[in-house]
Structure 1
Amino acid sequence: MLKIVLLCLMGFTAAFVDSIAGGGGLISVPGFLMAGLDPHIALGTNKFCATSGSFTSSLKFASSGKVNFKLLKYLIPFTLIGSILGVTIVQFISADFLRGIVLVLVLIIGIYSLFSKSLGRKDNFSGITKLNLFYGIVLAFSLGFYDGFFGPGTGSFLIFGFIKIFKFDFTKSIGNAKFLNFVSNISALIMFALHHQIQYKLGLPVAVFMILGARLGTKLAIKNGVKIIKPIFVTMSLAIAIKMMFEL
C-alpha cells in the first residue's frame, strides 16, 4: 500500500512538472524502477501513466486557445510517421550512439534559455509560411522519430523548436509541443501494450494522480506564463543533460 501511495505522489509531481516544461520522466521512471519493476515493465507502465497525464494537459491547453490546430494538422501526420519508424528501428539498432549528440544539444538549449532574456517572452507568431512550415515538418518528423527511437529531452526540443521556428511564446509553445508529443507517445504506448509490458494494477492509480498533476500544472502554466515556465524549462533541460551525462 505504501509503495502505491509513494508512486502516486511521484506520479503527481512528474505530471505537474511535465505539463509545465517537460521532463517528468526524470521523476516517474526512477519511481517505478525503485518499486522493483523490470526496466521494460517500468518504461511501459510509465508510458501508460504519462500518456494519460499528457492527454489531460493537451486538452487543457487546447481549450484555453494555446494550441494552433491550423498548424498542427500539417505536423501531426509527420510526427506519427516518425514515431512509428523510430519504434520499429529501435528494435534493431542500439540507441547509445545518440547519447553524446543529444547530451550536447540539450545542454545548449538549457544554457541558451538560461541566458536569453527575450526567449519565449512574447508571442510573435505572424502566420504559417512555406518556410516555417517546412522547418516545422522537419522538426515534427525528426522528434517523432527520436521519441520513438530514444526519447529523453523530446519535450525540451519541441518547446524550443516552436519558439525558434514559429516565434510562439513559452505558453503557446508548450501547448503545441504537448499536443505533438502526445501523438508521438501513442505509438510507443501501443508497442508496450502489444508486448504486455504495462502493469495496469500499479499503473491505473498512478495514472489518476498524473491526470490531477497535469491539470494543476497546466492551469498554473496558462495563468503565469513565462514566469513559471522558463525557470522550470531551464531546470529540466539541464537535469536531463546531467542524467544523460551519468549514463554515458
Structure 2
Amino acid sequence: MDISLNIILIIVGFGFLAALIDAVVGGGGLISIPALLAIGMPPSLTLGTNKLASAFGSLTSAFRFLRSGNVDLKIVLKLFPFVFLFSAGGASLATFLPAQVLKPLVIIILTLVLIYTVFKKEWGNVRTFSTLTLGKSIIFVGMMLLIGAYDGFLGGGTGSFMLFVLLMFGFDFLSAAGNAKVLNFASNLGALILFIILGQVDFVYGLIMAVSMIVGSYVGAQFAINKGVSYVKVLFIIVTALLILKNTYDYIMQILGE
C-alpha cells in the first residue's frame, strides 16, 4: 500500500481513540479495525496489523496500571505464558475455521454480561477479592485460557471478557481493568507472533498506528486511575453495548449475504 498523509492521519487519529477506550475496558478493535479496513487494507492483513499496534497499546496501559498498584502480579504472571500460548493456538485455528461460527455465541454472552452489570448496581464498586481456593483457581484459569484462545481466533471484546471474569472473582472495576490489560497484552502478543509468521502484518502502518496507540493507552489508563471505579464501570457498559450492536450487525449481514 502507498503511504499518504491522509491515510496516516486516519490511522493515527482512530488509533489514539481506540487505545484510549481499550486501555480501560477493551473494545478498541471496534474503532481500529474499521479504520484499517477503510484505508483499503485486506481483512486478513488488517487483523494482523491491528494486533501489532494493539500489542504496543496494551503494553503501555498495563505498565501504567502496574505503576499505580492496580495489578496483582502473583496472579497475572502465572497466567501470562498460558494466555500467550492459547491465544497463538486460537490464531492458528482461525486459519482453518471461519470466525463467523462464533458470532451468535459471542452476542449472547455479551448481552448477558451487559444485563448483569447494569442490574447489579453495587457490583465492582468495592474489591472483595482475597485469595482463590483450588476449585475457584481451576475455574478462573480455565476461563482466562478460553478468552486467550478467543482473542487469537476472533478477538472482539477480549478485554471486556477478561474484565468481567475478574469482576466475578471479587475485583473492583479499576483493579480488574489493570489485571485485564496485562493478560490482554499476553493474548495480543501470542496472536501477533503467529500473524507475523503467516506474513499477515503491515509493519509500516502497524508501527505508525502503534505510536498513536501508545499515547492513547497512557492517557486512557491515567484518566481511569484518576477518575476511579465509577468511570470505568460506565465506560464498560457503553463499550459492551457497542460490541453487541457491532457483532449483531456483522452476523445479520453475513446471513443476508448467503
Pairwise TM-score range, normalised by the shorter structure: over 0.9
Q: Amino acid of the residue matched to residue 87 of structure 1? A: A
8 Å CA contact 1:111–1:234 kept in 2: the answer is no
Cα separation, partners in 2 of 1:205 and 1:73, compared to 1, 3 Å? closer
Q: Does 1:158 align with 2:136?
A: no
Displacement of 1:81 in angstroms is 2.9
- Which of 176, 181, 193 is residue 178 of structure 1 equivalent to? 181
- Write the distance in 1 (CA, Å) between the matches of 2:53 and 2:85: 23
How many angstroms apart in 2 are the aligned matches of 1:242 and 1:192? 27
Within the candidate set 101, 109, 128, 2:132 is matched to: 128
Do 2:124 and 2:172's aligned partners in 1 also have CA atoms closer than 8 Å? yes
CA contact (8 A) 1:49 1:204 kept: yes
Q: Which of 19, 39, 53 is the aligned partner of 1:15?
A: 19
- The DSSP-based 3-state class of the residue aligned with 1:196 is coil
The residue that corresponds to 1:71 in the other structure is: 75
How many angstroms apart in 1 are the aligned matches of 2:138 and 2:193? 29
Contact 1:110–1:235 at 8 Å: present in 2 too? no
Equivalent pair of 2:92/2:194 in contact (CA under 8 Å): no
What is the SS of the residue equivalent to 1:223?
Answer: helix
Question: Which stretches in structure 1 are left out of the alignment for 5+ residues?
Answer: none
Q: Compared with structure 1, are the counterparts of its residues 179 and 241 closer, same or farther at alpha carbon in structure 2 (3 Å cutoff)?
A: same
Residue in structure 1 matched with residue 247 of structure 2 by the alignment = 244
Q: C-alpha separation between the residues in 1 aligned to 2:231 and 2:159? A: 16
Alpha-carbon RMSD: 1.3
Letter in 2 for 1:37: M
TM-score by length of structure 1 reads 0.95
**TM-superposed deviation, 1:224:** 1.2
- Alignment-mate amino acid for residue 174 of structure 2: T
1:208-231 C-alpha deviation (Å, 9 max, x unpaired) = 111000000000111112221111
- The reply to whether residue 203 of structure 1 matches residue 219 of structure 2 is no
C-alpha deviation, 1:115, in angstroms: 2.3
Q: What whole-Å deviation, never above 9, does each CA across 1:71-94 have from its counterpart, x for those lacking one?
A: 123322331232232122222222
**Equivalences, count:** 247
Shift in Å at residue 44 of structure 1? Answer: 1.5
* Structure 1 residue corresponding to 2:224, chosen from 201, 214, 221: 221
The amino acid that maps onto 1:212 is V
Rounded Cα–Cα distance in structure 2 between residues aligned with 1:225 and 1:132: 27
Structure 1's consecutive aligned runs of 4 or more residues displaced over 4 angstroms after TM superposition are none
> Normalised by the size of structure 2, how large is the TM-score?
0.92
Q: Extract unaligned runs of 5+ from structure 2.
A: 252-258
For residues 84 and 247 of structure 2, what CA distance do their matches in structure 1 show?
25
State the shift of 1:129 in Å.
2.3
